[in-house]
Structure 1
Amino acid sequence: LADRPEYFGQLFSRLRGLRTRTGRPHWLVLDEAHHLMPAEWGHVGVALPRQLGETVFVTVHPEHLPPALLRLVDLVIAVGPSPERTLRGFCHAMERNLVWPDGLRAVRDQAIAWYPHREDPVQPMRILAPRRDRVRHRRKYAEGDMRYHSFYFRGPEKRHNLKAHNLNIFAQIAEGIDDETWLFHLRRGDYSRWFRDAVKDPYLADQAERIEQRVNLQPEETRNLIRRLIETRYTLAE
């Protein structure tokens, strides 16, 4: 993590040179920007151009970005349950005041837009649903290590303690676990709960919940249905 700013500074300089020569890439999207350019990084002045161009900085902590960078931002879009807090963090880092309209509240499927260099107040904007559903960190959930978000097959009376640290391992254990343990978690809704809360996939969770509620199915049928459901959204190792 500590090496990211220096690496990014070199990469950003080369990308700017490439953009000057070729006009590409048209857009740069920098996720977790507060790790790439933290406020305390001493080379911000060297790394930053006078104009950013078409660049998107994604962060949950705008106040952790350098003020010199924030002053170059033309548009701030705050999403999530606390857009006012996000924008106030941005303004605090720039030592500016934010005028928040009375009655404006966070609403689902809505973001708040603000142009820092204009006199216009913040404006709500509707978020359009994507044409295709995307799952962030898809490979991590399928093959990586979810660590403390792992699923544990324990069964009744905690007879087992089998850890599934990703969806691939989950599917493998599910295929070989005894019916009693499988059904124990199925009837409790543990699978859909894990998909929703840990894997962060509402669609997968909703579909799994429907399977959990079909009490007329045999254990093997529910295993196959949930495995196929996972396979349609994630690439599992053979």
Structure 2
Amino acid sequence: MIVDVSRLDGPARRAYKASLLAQLERERAATGLPHWIVVDEAHVPFGRDAETSKYFDPSQKGYCFVTYQPGELKDEVWKELDVIVALPSGRRILPAGSPDPIAVVEERWQKPFVQMVDAARFGQAVLARRDELSPPRVFTRAPRTSSHVRHWHKYARATLPENLCFHFHVEGSEPGYDAANLEDFHWALTTCALATVRFHAQRADFSRWIRSVIHDDELSAAVQELESRISDKTEDMDVDVVRAGLLSAIEQRYLE
């Protein structure tokens, strides 16, 4: 069952989530199910100032907290954590002034998370258990088994820092253009000169940016395949066909 709470304001949304978590705890106390409760953006319902006594029973275990702001979790939650999995992507595009989440985890558990996450390759993660004396270990994540439908408003409109923007190459005296998010990128790709498309496609700039900045491996692979169709000898008409394919790939991946 999926419940759409997007029309609720902040306080009403938080109140509903709290009531839902409380109901789940009552259900678990009575039946033992569900075995696991996964809480996304856990720093909101389980933040430092949140009153969680009605919906958080640490004795039940079976909680999975997902957050990019672990420092905001209340101490009661930190005391009950048995395992932490840290993803390199958890550090991407944090709000200005936000602490490094991996450094927060390292400070809390006194284990070398930062060094290991820095050394992790794409697709890897770092796992540690509280009761182990050994350092965290690196493992390779299995590919997801279901497709991920993404949305402009959630993934493509957040403004990127200047150093992560996509810089569109132009020739001559034409002004350049920087795409500060994927929606900007889509618009610029629609309007830029074919020479610009050719320039970036031959260098695999589009797929590299989508993979390293947007962190969308699936879209990056589709874009890379399209880029491979362009060479110095490719006719402008065919470059425009590739451009249309690039736009379509983005639109299919990021639905309104």
Scaled to the shorter chain, the TM-score interval is 0.5 to 0.7
Secondary structure, in 3 states, of the residue corresponding to 1:45?
Answer: coil
Alignment partners' CA distance in 2, 1:18 and 1:176:
55
- Return the offset for 1:66: 0.8
Structure 1 alignment gaps of length 5 or more? 92-97
Superposed CA offset, 1:68-118 (max 9, x none): 112222222233389973532333xxxxxx3669x978433242321x3x3
- Return the offset for 1:124: 1.3
Alignment partners' CA distance in 1, 2:178 and 2:120:
40
**Are 1:8 and 2:26 counterparts?**
no
Q: Flag the 1:130–1:67 CA change in 2: closer, same or farther, 3 A.
A: same
Percentage of identical aligned residues? 21
Secondary structure, in 3 states, of the residue corresponding to 1:15?
Answer: helix
**Are 1:44 and 2:52 counterparts?**
yes
Structure 2 alignment gaps of length 5 or more? 1-8, 90-99
**Mapping of residues 58-207 of structure 1, within 5 Å:** 58-80=66-88, 85-91=103-109, 98=110, 106-108=119-121, 109-114=124-129, 116=130, 118=131, 120-130=133-143, 132=145, 138-140=150-152, 145-148=157-160, 155-156=170-171, 157-158=173-174, 166=182, 170=186, 174=189, 178-183=193-198, 185-186=200-201, 190-205=205-220
Alignment partners' CA distance in 2, 1:124 and 1:2:
38
- Return the offset for 1:54: 1.9
Alignment partners' CA distance in 1, 2:154 and 2:233:
29
- Return the offset for 1:50: 3.9
- Contact 1:52–1:72 (CA under 8 A) maintained in structure 2: no
- Return the offset for 1:38: 1.3
- Contact 1:84–1:100 (CA under 8 A) maintained in structure 2: no
- Contact 1:100–1:121 (CA under 8 A) maintained in structure 2: no
Superposed CA offset, 1:23-76 (max 9, x none): 54442222221133211x141334422424322101233332111112222222
- Return the offset for 1:190: 4.7
Greater Rg, structure 1 or structure 2? Answer: 1
Q: Flag the 1:5–1:66 CA change in 2: closer, same or farther, 3 A.
A: farther
Alignment partners' CA distance in 1, 2:56 and 2:166:
43
- Contact 1:113–1:123 (CA under 8 A) maintained in structure 2: yes
Within the candidate set 17, 23, 26, 1:17 is matched to: 26
TM-score by length of 2: 0.62
Aligned length: 226
Q: Flag the 1:207–1:144 CA change in 2: closer, same or farther, 3 A.
A: closer
Secondary structure, in 3 states, of the residue corresponding to 2:137?
Answer: strand
